[in-house]
Amino acid sequence: MNNNKYVTISTEDLIVNTILNFDIFIKSKDQTILFRKKDHPFTAETLSKLVEHKIQSLLISEDEVVEFEKYYHNVRQNTITSLTKKGFSPPVFDQPENVKKYYNSHFNYYPIEKATLIPDSTVSFSVYKKTLIDVELYFGPENQNGKSNIVPADIQETSFPIVISNTDISLYRKYLQDTTKEYFKQNYVSPELQCSVIRENSKLIIKEVLEDPRNGENIEKSRDLVETLANTILDNKDNFCNLLKITSHDYYTYMHSLNVCTLSIGIGEIILKLERPVLNEMGLGALLHDIGKCTIDPRIINKPGRLTPEEFKSMQNHVLAAKGILSAKNGSIPQRSLFPILQHHERISGNGYPYKKKGDQIHLFGRVAAIVDFYDALTTDRPYKKAYSPFETLQLLTNAQEDFDQSLVKAFIIMLGKQAKAQEQKAMTIQQL
């Protein structure tokens, strides 16, 4: 009897024309069978065979995880070297002190949008420029030179992302409620800017909810937020685009949750034309779809590099963890809101997780969540990896015929195309004025 234990790796971890220093296995009819022996090259032919049979994950013996790690590290090093030659700045995360710095800047600082800061207004919090692994004081009370508390007149023209310390979040919230709101009352404000403020307020709410998801009050806040977002899109369909991120320089679960919620409401409202109460239920599920991530080590969620097989496995637990968190809520979450949460990693082919549901076994809300979750995750920059463009991501969704509901994918592409065109036309009209 074979007592070997296996861990899962992705076919994407293997690079064509490299020698694998470990055996690879595949699962076939509940049996684990040897697919390629170690010390043999991983050829394009082998890869196409796997693709042909729709095999995306492979198994390696637990005893050979170290060998796999070595292989992965070497392959990655070579890729970095060849990218450096092409002028791509190499990641700095091979040095532990840089990883530490990155975690410090990621966990202790909060990204804000420049659009909500009014030039020449006074702030009571410090604003920092965010670099890849560090932060640098930009302006604010901590700066002792001259007009330290004044928002620079040229802030909107700068290109770097800005952050504030987590300890100043309540001061920023107050600024949004007082200074920004007051300015917006007295001046003409474009829908884009209005949406920036809605987005900033939404981010603050979602961050709070995800930090304390067991708190009943936070679930109520989530319902109100979905209502606000749906109203904003219903008022003016252009707002749908304005509510989506402008640029995202790094991954934050609360930003991802906001984008997944906005995209789901867009599909629900514009494509599926759902009745309002149903739309709200879908939106709530989309907003909370990654609620289980609060149980996962944040250093894994935000790891600046590819996850090890063990880390990947622990990450996958977030779906079932969500079930645990929400079952304690005793019906305060509508039944249908559970579908985006429990099914956003399921795939039509049955190759998803955690239940390996297939086709129609996946609820419509689960199929929508799978598409928008994939779309937003891939179009977000990571500190070690550039994001895919929307076009490339939509192409990947279209190519994954077996995994995603293609009628929804098609409608999603048309919807994004129409919105982009409307934005373009609006920009041209403004230019002509």
How far is it, in rounded angstroms, from Cα 216 to Cα 209? 10
Other beta carbons within 10 angstroms of residue 407's beta carbon come to 10
CB of 293 to Fe ion, least distance (A): 7
Q: Which of 373, 369, 349 is nearest to 361 (CA)?
A: 349
Cβ closest to Fe ion, residue 269 vs residue 346: 346
Q: How far is CA 312 from CA 229, 246, 290, 317, in A?
A: 32, 29, 15, 9
Cβ closest to Fe ion, residue 26 vs residue 307: 307
Cβ closest to Fe ion, residue 228 vs residue 317: 317
Cβ closest to Fe ion, residue 92 vs residue 320: 320
Q: Which amino acid is at 73?
A: H
Cβ closest to Fe ion, residue 200 vs residue 376: 376
Whether residue 388 contacts residue 378, with contact meaning beta carbons closer than 8 Å, is answered with: yes
Applying CB under 5 A, which part among 3-11, 83-91, 283-291, 416-424 lies near Fe ion?
A: 283-291
Q: Which of 300, 416, 350, 296 is nearest to 54 (CA)?
A: 350
Q: Are strands 57-61 and 135-139 parallel, antiparallel or unpaired?
A: unpaired
Applying CB under 5 A, which part among 61-69, 209-217, 282-290, 325-333 lies near Fe ion?
A: 282-290
Whether residue 409 contacts residue 397, with contact meaning beta carbons closer than 8 Å, is answered with: yes
* Residue corresponding to tokens 């279209």: 398
Q: How far is CA 264 from CA 260, 373, 432, in A?
A: 6, 9, 34
All residues at 6 or more sequence positions from 189 whose CB lies less than 8 Å from its CB, including other chains: none
How far is it, in rounded angstroms, from Cα 132 to Cα 151? 23
* Residue corresponding to tokens 């937020």: 225
CB of 333 to Fe ion, least distance (A): 17
Cβ closest to Fe ion, residue 218 vs residue 343: 343
Cβ closest to Fe ion, residue 232 vs residue 259: 259
| Tokens of residue 61, six digits | 């013996």
- Decide: residue 14, CB within 10 A, 0-12 exposed, 13-18 middle, 19+ buried: buried
CB of 276 to Fe ion, least distance (A): 26
Using rule CB under 5 A, residue 346 touches Fe ion: no
CB of 344 to Fe ion, least distance (A): 6
Per-residue x/- mask for Fe ion, residues 172 to 211, rule CB under 5 A? ----------------------------------------
Cα four-point dihedral sign 321, 325, 330, 333: negative
Q: Which residue is at the shortest CB distance from Fe ion?
A: 290
Whether residue 287 contacts residue 255, with contact meaning beta carbons closer than 8 Å, is answered with: no
Question: 168, 290, 346, 405: which one contacts Fe ion (CB under 5 A)?
Answer: 290
Applying CB under 5 A, which part among 20-28, 252-260, 284-292, 326-334 lies near Fe ion?
A: 284-292
Applying CB under 5 A, which part among 17-25, 94-102, 146-154, 286-294 lies near Fe ion?
A: 286-294
CB of 245 to Fe ion, least distance (A): 18
CB of 355 to Fe ion, least distance (A): 14
Cβ closest to Fe ion, residue 168 vs residue 405: 405
How far is it, in rounded angstroms, from Cα 201 to Cα 114? 14
CB of 318 to Fe ion, least distance (A): 6
Cβ closest to Fe ion, residue 168 vs residue 290: 290
Beta bridge partner(s), residue 42: 18
CB of 51 to Fe ion, least distance (A): 24
CB of 345 to Fe ion, least distance (A): 6
| Size of site (CB under 5 A) for Fe ion | 1
The residues that touch Fe ion, with contacts defined as CB under 5 A, are 290
